[in-house]
A and B are shown apart, each in its own frame.
Chain A
Amino acid sequence: MKSFHRCLTLPLLTGLATAALAKLNVVATTPDLGALARAIGGDQIELTTLAKPSEDPHFVDAKPSFIVKLNHADALIEGGAELEAGWLTPLLEGARNPKLDPGRPGRIAGAEGVALLEVPTALDRSQGDIHASGNPHYLTDPLNARIVAAHIARALAELDATSAGVYQGNLKKFDDALEARLAEWQKLAAPFAGRPVVTYHNYWIYFGRRFNWPMELFLEPKPGIPPTPAHLAAVITKMKAGNLKVVTVQPYQHRKTAETVASHTGALVLDWPSFPGGPGTEGYLEWMDHLVKSTVAGFEQTR
């Protein structure tokens, strides 16, 4: 009887052991989601991030490895607000992985539970590259990152119950760190409340709202449409009238446009990384810290 018992439990135990050893294969579409997945999943997950931090998340070039990774993935973390729709959909068709079908626990949409801004009342291509579900760059607000981190922790726990405690612990750690940092950032930002910033694309609206820095003037005439001479002239006039002194660009945007505008207005050009993942901004909190501090420094310099 005893040996029979051992026969049953031994394979069961080894099965459990390998399940615990086998890491969850997680694919994140953009580096901000990847950074959050890493913060929550830690060493328990095998993480692949498709878009590079320097890349335009609207357009990402497909490579064979993307299909392989998606084919092997246990979970896909996507923005869920159409940002990646143009390139993710054909990749998923190629990957043919039923675990990632919409509605399955392996398909994690970051936007779920986040209140998106600028949800259009009517969809009209003449308004530029707008997204039906709202502005998809919601992770530029650290409080939204908190919601998404909690969502990822729940979803990973559902897929890998044995590590649920680890995910919960990592979430707690992330939440506490974020709360401490946020208080610090808000203290830094407060003296400059209300100072507007010119951005290239309508990418930072959530960030601007959180720290009370209006970001309503863009170098693009409409989202996704390259700057035109007449529009830039109008931007320059508005910047002079409103005494706007800070212009920001992201790695894949045309820095020369921002420099030209800055040279006409005596403004400062700030390089904002679109995503975590560069040197010194590996994690989400480090990235946000860099954004806040470089902006504050920019304001101080152009006081």
Chain B
Amino acid sequence: MLEAFEIMKWPLLACLLLPGLLVYLGLHIVQREIIFVDLALAQVAALGTCFGILMHYEANSWESYLLSLGFTFVGAGIFTLTRTKSHRVPQEALIGIVYVVTAALGILLLSRSPEGNEELRRTLIGEVLLVTPAQVLRTFGLYVVIGLIHWFCRKRFLAISFAPEGALAGGLSVRWWDFVFYAMFGWVVTSFVQIGGVLLVFSYLIVPAVCANFLADALGARLLIGWATATVASGAGLYASYALDLPTGAAIVCALGLALILSLVAARFRPGPVG
């Protein structure tokens, strides 16, 4: 058991500390009904990394990090501008288009590079098992800063996500705060993609938020349920990965899937109407 802890220590820390912010942002994302925006932003960031590879920067170098961050901000700009009130074109459609076009562009770019396949796989699956202490601490530092910004500006961020019409009427610059939201969100997502891959980041964002929406209405209660879900599923997934020798990221994703089923069952026994 001690040995299991020794080997799984940093993946465990990564999966306990980092989803805190992801779960909170997930509540925003689910409320805005832009479920796939994280996949799209992650893909835009991956396109930046692809450019870096073509320019012969190593995938882990700071140049390549800056490139992917720059691309993320461009993506944030695109999503800010495409948040329309008209329902003729739902934003989800545009998000999907950004996702597939950037994914296809990435394939085109990487077809010229021998490391292409490996890099595409890595962005998808990640290597949470092999996360380094420096990676965990650096990302945690970033998340604390962004979490504090969200805490201090919570009124504005909650207004633009949960009541955008009211915010606009109240004289809040929704465009500007939307951009800040997406830019920080993209930064959070791409940092975690470096550790856990696209599948895991999507699961941490969406699954706990959906579980929480099934079980509670108040934002505070949803947040607590979301954190509890993420923590328990992380622990169970990491334990299963060690005990049964399974790929770590996929084990956690499946544990989160199981948590969703359990919360659906729990929601049936919940007093009062659901949702």
Contacts and interface: CB of A to CB of B under 8 A. Distances in A.
Answer yes or no: are A and B bound together in one complex. yes
A15 interface: no
Interface string B41-65: 0000000000000001000000000
A71 B3 contact: yes
Contact of B245 (A64, A223, A228): A64
A126 to B, nearest CB: 9
B226 to A, nearest CB: 27
A225 interface: yes
A222 B110 CA distance: 13
Contacts of B241: 63-64
Interface size class of A (residues with CB under 8 A): 20 to 34
Q: Which of A64, A65, A130, A222 has the most CB of B within 10 A?
A: A64
A214 interface: no
A61 B113 contact: no
B7 A94 contact: yes
Given A63-B129, A63-B245, A68 B7 contact: yes
A184 interface: no
Given A62-B127, A64-B241, A93 B114 contact: no
Interface in A210-263: 222-226, 228
A43 interface: no
A58 interface: yes
A91 interface: yes
A222 B113 CA distance: 9
Contact of A68 (B3, B118, B125): B3
Nearest to B107: A226
A226 B117 CA distance: 9
A278 B129 CA distance: 29
Contact of A59 (B3, B118, B132, B246): B118
A65 B56 CA distance: 34
A64 B130 contact: no
A225 B118 contact: no
Contacts, number: 64
A129 interface: yes
A222 B114 CA distance: 8
B3 to A, nearest CB: 7
Interface in A90-146: 90-91, 93-94, 125, 128-130
B246 A225 contact: no
B111 interface: yes
A120 B114 CA distance: 16
A73 interface: no
Contact of A64 (B56, B121, B129): B129
A198 interface: no
Contact of A225 (B111, B125, B129): B111
Interface of B: 3-4, 7-8, 56, 111-118, 121, 125, 127, 129-130, 132, 241-242, 245-248
6 contacts: A62-B127, A64-B4, A125-B114, A225-B111, A226-B111, A226-B116
9 pairs of A and B residues whose beta carbons are closest in the complex? A224-B114, A129-B114, A90-B130, A65-B245, A128-B114, A64-B242, A67-B7, A62-B129, A63-B245
Given A59-B117, A63-B129, A226-B116, 4 more contacts: A58-B118, A65-B245, A224-B114, A225-B111
